[in-house]
Structure 1
Amino acid sequence: MTDVSRLPGAALHHWQWQSRAACRGLGPGRFFHPAGERGEDRDERDRAAKRICEGCPVREACLRHALLTREPFGVWGGLTEEERRPLLHRTAHTVSA
């Protein structure tokens, strides 16, 4: 069963930022790597996704969402899952202190 306890809830105001996202309507293939994708192919997909995020008006809200929900995959708010991990680690220590 999926643990949804960290999700911010169903209230519309929690999700309105998504309607203004630069990625809206582009599909997940640009932001989530297919199984087994490695090396230059994955790096190029990540760079292309980040170019879309660069000018996005809701980039901060997107990243905040990914960190809050501990999104394990994809490019969110201009950061890959690998780039978000240190932020999650830092956030966990800040909250528990």
Structure 2
Amino acid sequence: MIGIEQLPWADDAKCLQAEPDTFFPEKGGSTREAKRICQMCTVKPECLEYALANEERFGIWGGMSERERRKLKRLAS
């Protein structure tokens, strides 16, 4: 799998300007700041699509946690 930095839309990703730990909090840690950053990101849909297609199991992608992405996938099935 290629790194996010190599994806065509990644240059515009707000998360690349933030501390990576913000998007990968410890278990039970807050996701609020990561989701706030995602709300301002112009490539949020592309990010979420990438996470769903690649079954990303950790972190905040496209403004959603892994649990939220699993639920979205279940509802789409």
TM above 0.5: yes
Indicate the TM-score class for this superposition, using the shorter chain for normalisation.
Answer: 0.7 to 0.9
TM-score (norm 2): 0.83
Aligned residues: 74
Name the amino acid aligned to 1:70.
Answer: E
- Residue 71 of structure 1 is matched in structure 2 by 56
**By how many angstroms is 1:46 displaced?**
0.4
TM-score (norm 1): 0.67
- Residue 15 of structure 2 is matched in structure 1 by 23
- The gaps in structure 1 that reach 5 residues or longer are 5-9
Indicate the structure (1 or 2) with the bigger Cα radius of gyration: 1
Identity across matched positions, percent? 39
**By how many angstroms is 1:54 displaced?**
0.3
Name the amino acid aligned to 2:63.
Answer: G
**By how many angstroms is 1:27 displaced?**
3.2
Q: Which runs of 4+ in 1 moved over 4 A?
A: none
